[in-house]
C-alpha cells in the first residue's frame, strides 16, 4: 500500500480523457450532477457487492463502471478478466468484447499488471491493425511503465497522422506533470488551449497547476474562462473567489478581495446558501476588507449585510448538522466580530 508513484500519477491526469474518472472533474462536479452520480454510485456499489459475492451481473457492473467513469481498477480487472477468459461469456458480448479488452487494459495498467495490459493490447492490435485508439493504449502502457521518452516518441508518431487528436496532446501534458516538469505542462496546456479553447477539462487542469505553483492570478484567469462558458456552475465561482483571495496575499489589492467576496456571494446564490466554504469565505473576506479599509471614508467601506447573513446561515447549519462544533464556530465568529 503506497502513495502513487509517478506512472500512476500520470494515469490520474486526464484520465477522464479515456474512460476513467479524473480528480479534477470530481472536484468540479456540480451539485446536481453529484446527486445523480450519488444515486448511480449507490447502484454501482450494490452491483459490485453482488458480483463480489458470486451473484452474477458482472457485465452490467463493468458497463456501469465505464459509464460513470469510476476508478475501481482492481474489481474491473478481476471481473473483466473472468469474462474474457471464458469463451462462452466472451462470445455473448459480441462487439462489446473489444471495449471490454480496452477497459481491462486500463484497469491492468492502474493495478501495475503490465503483462495483462500488454496481452489485451496485443489482441486489440490484431483485431484493429494500425488503429490510433490502440496506438494510444500502447503509449499509455509505456507511461504506466515510466518509460517517458518512449511514450513521448510513440505519441509524436501518432500525432503525425492525427495532428488534432486531443487525447494524445493531453497525454503529453500528463507525462510532463508526472515527471514534475510543471512549466512544460503549463506551456503544453497553453498551446493546446489556443487550439481547443472550449476544453473545460484542460482549463481546469491548467488552473490546478497554476494554483499549485502559487500563480494565483493566472489560475483566476482560467476560472474566468470557465465561468464565461458555464456561468451557473457553482464550483467555478467558488474556485475563482478562492484564487482572487489568494492573489491578495501575493500581490495585494483591495479589488481582489472585493472580487473574491463577490464570487463567494454568487456561489451562495447559485447553491441556495448551502455551500459552507462560500459562507466562510464571505465572512473571512469581510474581516479582511474591514481591516484594509480602516480609517478610510465610509463610502469605501463595505456596508452590506452579507457578512452577518452568512454568519447566521453558518450557525443555523452547524446547529442542525454538527451541533458539537457549534460552540467553536460561534466563538470563532465572535472573535471575527461578526456575531452581534
- Which residues of the chain form contacts with other proteins (CB under 8 A)? 1-6, 8-9, 12, 23, 27, 178, 180, 208, 211-212, 214, 216, 242, 245-246, 249, 276-277, 280-281, 284, 317-318, 321-322, 324-325, 328-329, 331-332, 335
> From the CB of 191, what's the least distance to other proteins, in Å?
24
Residue with cell 473576506: 285
Q: Which CB, 276 or 293, lies closer to other proteins? A: 276
Question: Phi and psi (nearest 5°) for 309?
Answer: -65, -40
- Helix (H, G, I), strand (E, B), or coil: what is residue 199? coil
> What's the rounded Cα separation, in Å, for the pair 167 and 173?
10
The answer to whether 84 touches 108, Cβ cutoff 8 Å, is no
Q: Which CB, 154 or 243, lies closer to other proteins? A: 243
Q: Which CB, 134 or 244, lies closer to other proteins? A: 244
> From the CB of 2, what's the least distance to other proteins, in Å?
5
> What's the rounded Cα separation, in Å, for the pair 327 and 340?
15
* Type and span of the H or E element at 59: helix 58-68
> What's the rounded Cα separation, in Å, for the pair 144 and 6?
9
> From the CB of 23, what's the least distance to other proteins, in Å?
6
> What's the rounded Cα separation, in Å, for the pair 264 and 229?
18
> What's the rounded Cα separation, in Å, for the pair 66 and 51?
16
> From the CB of 74, what's the least distance to other proteins, in Å?
12
> From the CB of 322, what's the least distance to other proteins, in Å?
4
Q: Which CB, 158 or 209, lies closer to other proteins? A: 209
Q: Which CB, 31 or 96, lies closer to other proteins? A: 31
**Residues counted in the chain:** 340
Q: Which CB, 100 or 256, lies closer to other proteins? A: 256
The answer to whether 241 touches 220, Cβ cutoff 8 Å, is no
SS3 of 155-188: the string is: HHHHHHHCCCCHHHHHHHHHHHHHCCCHHHHHHH
Q: Which CB, 231 or 327, lies closer to other proteins? A: 327
Q: Which CB, 92 or 321, lies closer to other proteins? A: 321
> From the CB of 158, what's the least distance to other proteins, in Å?
26
> From the CB of 336, what's the least distance to other proteins, in Å?
8
The answer to whether 326 touches 318, Cβ cutoff 8 Å, is yes
> From the CB of 185, what's the least distance to other proteins, in Å?
13
> What's the rounded Cα separation, in Å, for the pair 32 and 35?
5
> What's the rounded Cα separation, in Å, for the pair 65 and 299?
56
Amino acid at each position: 500500500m503506497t502513495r502513487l508513484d509517478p506512472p500512476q500519477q500520470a494515469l490520474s491526469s486526464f484520465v477522464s480523457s479515456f474512460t476513467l474518472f479524473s480528480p479534477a472533474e470530481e472536484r468540479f462536479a456540480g451539485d446536481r450532477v453529484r446527486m445523480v452520480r450519488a444515486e448511480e454510485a449507490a447502484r454501482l456499489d450494490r452491483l459490485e457487492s453482488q458480483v463480489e459475492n458470486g451473484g452474477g451481473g458482472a457485465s452490467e457492473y463493468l458497463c456501469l463502471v465505464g459509464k460513470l467513469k469510476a476508478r475501481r481498477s482492481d474489481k474491473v480487472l478481476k471481473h473483466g478478466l473472468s469474462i474474457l477468459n471464458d469463451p462462452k461469456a466472451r462470445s455473448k458480448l459480441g462487439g462489446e468484447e473489444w471495449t471490454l479488452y480496452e477497459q481491462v487494459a486500463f484497469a491492468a495498467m492502474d493495478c501495475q499488471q503490465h503483462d495483462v495490459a500488454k496481452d489485451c493490447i496485443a489482441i486489440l492490435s490484431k483485431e484493429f491493425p494500425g488503429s490510433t485508439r490502440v496506438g494510444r493504449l500502447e503509449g499509455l502502457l509505456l507511461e504506466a511503465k515510466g518509460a517517458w521518452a518512449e511514450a513521448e516518441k510513440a505519441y509524436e508518431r501518432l500525432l503525425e497522422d492525427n495532428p488534432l487528436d486531443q487525447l494524445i496532446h493531453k497525454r503529453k501534458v500528463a507525462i510532463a506533470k508526472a515527471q514534475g516538469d510543471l512549466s512544460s505542462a503549463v506551456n503544453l496546456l497553453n498551446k493546446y488551449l489556443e487550439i481547443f479553447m472550449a476544453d473545460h477539462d484542460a482549463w481546469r487542469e491548467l488552473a490546478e497547476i497554476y494554483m499549485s505553483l502559487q500563480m494565483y492570478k493566472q489560475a483566476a484567469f482560467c476560472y474566468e474562462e470557465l465561468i464565461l462558458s458555464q456561468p451557473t456552475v457553482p464550483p467555478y465561482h467558488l474556485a475563482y473567489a478562492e484564487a482572487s483571495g489568494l492573489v491578495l496575499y501575493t500581490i495585494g489589492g483591495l479589488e481582489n478581495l472585493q472580487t473574491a467576496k463577490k464570487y463567494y456571494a454568487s456561489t451562495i446564490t447559485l447553491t441556495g446558501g448551502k455551500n459552507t466554504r462560500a459562507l466562510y469565505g464571505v465572512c473571512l473576506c469581510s474581516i479582511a476588507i474591514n481591516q484594509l479599509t480602516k480609517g478610510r471614508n465610509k463610502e469605501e467601506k463595505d456596508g452590506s449585510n452579507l457578512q452577518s447573513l452568512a454568519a447566521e446561515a453558518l450557525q443555523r447549519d452547524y446547529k442542525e448538522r454538527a451541533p458539537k462544533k457549534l460552540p467553536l464556530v460561534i466563538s470563532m465568529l465572535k472573535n471575527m466580530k461578526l456575531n452581534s
